[in-house]
Amino acid sequence: MIRIGILGNIGSGKSYVSKNFGYPVFNADHEVSKLYNKNKKIFELLKKKLPKHISSFPIDKNEITKAILSNKTNLKKIINVVHKEIRKKLNLFLKKNKNKKIIILDIPLLLENRINKKQDILVYVDSKKKDIEKQLRKRANLSRRLINRFEKIQFLPSYKKSKSHFIIKNNFTKKSVNIGIKRILNKIL
């Protein structure tokens, strides 16, 4: 099985690129949303760590946002609780797809949390700053302050690019992404 890890800035189009590969995708953000909506254990752990902010189940994303913005350490507390469960979900995904030729890992903190393996093929999604800003404005509950908090816990784009085997230019058209994907698949298959 070939594991392709997708890297890039917040709003660069990692999930879009991941889907367009046409292979099974592990989308960590989607899995976190499911945890907030369906996992009572995660709710109890977060409520214990952040009693001023987390009060209702299913967990309201606004409560998470307020917790992150109110204190610099809260994002790390949330990650510590959620991360263990996401690793379990990833392991289930890998078992379920063990016979697939390729799987795609759409995990925002792939390198930071050392989830990648040495043999993984890393692909950096490179987008222009103005295009990223346009994409981020479309997202509800995403302020500049919140984006800054997320960026502070991530490696610099230059570091991620230097670790990547391939770079896909994403100008938010299907054509540019598909050209990049085709080039990568031709080289690795």
**Are residues 38 and 9 part of one domain?**
no
Last residue of a domain, one of 67, 96, 125: 96
Last residue of a domain, one of 46, 79, 96: 96
- In angstroms, the CA 20 to CA 18 distance is 5
Note the pLDDT tens digit of each residue in 56-94: 999 998 899 999 989 889 999 999 999 989 999 999 999
For residue 20, give the 3-state DSSP assignment.
helix
In this prediction the pTM is 0.91
Last residue of a domain, one of 70, 96, 122: 96
Domain span at 123: 1-24+101-189
**Are residues 152 and 112 part of one domain?**
yes
Alpha helices for the chain (secondary structure H): 14-20, 28-38, 40-49, 61-70, 74-96, 129-138, 144-152, 157-163, 174-188
**Are residues 153 and 119 part of one domain?**
yes
For residue 189, give the 3-state DSSP assignment.
coil
Task: List the CATH number of the domain containing 179.
Answer: 3.40.50.300
Element (H, E) at 51: none
- Is pLDDT of 189 > 70? yes
pLDDT score at 140: 67
**Are residues 131 and 61 part of one domain?**
no
- Is pLDDT of 165 > 70? yes
**Are residues 160 and 85 part of one domain?**
no
What is the count of structural domains for the chain? 2
Note the pLDDT tens digit of each residue in 101-128: 999 999 988 999 889 999 999 999 999 9
User: Could you tell me the pLDDT band of residue 19, with boundaries at 50, 70 and 90?
Assistant: very high
**Are residues 152 and 63 part of one domain?**
no
At position 148, the amino acid (one-letter code) is N
User: Could you tell me the pLDDT band of residue 161, with boundaries at 50, 70 and 90?
Assistant: very high
Spatial CA neighbour of 13 closest among 182, 155, 177:
177
